[in-house]
Amino acid sequence: MPRELLSKGYVNILIVDDDKKSVEFLSQLLDKEGRKIETAEEGLGAIKKLEEKDFDLVITDLKMPGASGIEVLKTARKINPKVLVIVITGFATLNTALEAIEAGAYSYLTKPFKLDEIEILVNNATENIQLIRENEGLLAALKAVYGELETLKTTKKELEQKLQLVNKKMEKSQLEINERSSSLYLFPRNILPFHYTNPYREDKTRILDEIKKLAELREEGIIAEEEFMLYKKRLLSKI
């Protein structure tokens, strides 16, 4: 069965004590805006709630029937290593204090305690929890931004590769166009005989005849004036 996620806008507190009056008193004392409080009157009931729901802060008595406060502490920390646990006891000894601290207790409080002691302790724990949440939120935001930057880098790299490919294709296409252009005659070969476009003959009479024929083609509108002048110049250069 999945554990229930309590409100993330609140600090979720579980108060555990086999003394019903102590549970009611602490619930009323600590019930303030921004907090949600649940209670359990023995250790096993507390462990069951810890397995079913998420809590930010656990306040537990040390000696209880069924399961001790140390067992509640260890279970809470095993389920959620970030949970803060305050252990309260009327049978304080150095050994129990050390055991609680070694098990990961946030703090250890002995009965009878002053009201401002528990209030200050819970207020500090609440601020600690809220700071942890803010830091986690900032970290998540940074990870999201980093992920977006990585995506942009990848997209930019892909675009650059595509652009390079397009440029290469354009260069190749231009080379092919240039090669084809250099192999074409100015006139279609079905209009001009080969010797019109190959003015390397040294026969003066033949060259003049070719110029005459080119002039006729110009007058008939088959070739343009500038084309006629160009080839006339080439032919005359061989005389």
pLDDT per position as a tens digit, 10-44:
899 999 999 889 899 999 999 988 899 999 999 99
Please identify, among 85, 101, 134, the residue that sits at the C-terminal boundary of a domain.
Answer: 134
The string of pLDDT tens digits covering residues 105-120 is 999 888 888 888 899 9
* DSSP letter, residue 197: S
* Structural domain span for residue 205: 194-236
Distance CA(206)–CA(13), nearest Å, equals: 113
Parallel, antiparallel, or unpaired for β 57-61 and 107-110? unpaired
* In a shared domain, residues 106 and 18: yes
The string of pLDDT tens digits covering residues 202-218 is 567 888 888 888 888 78
Distance CA(204)–CA(224), nearest Å, equals: 24
pTM (two decimals): 0.58
Within-domain flag for 23: yes
The count of domains in the chain is 2
Q: Tell me which residue has tokens 């999201």.
A: 144
Within-domain flag for 51: yes
* In a shared domain, residues 53 and 130: yes
Averaged pLDDT, 170-195: 53
Residue 11 near residue 129, CB atoms below 8 Å: yes
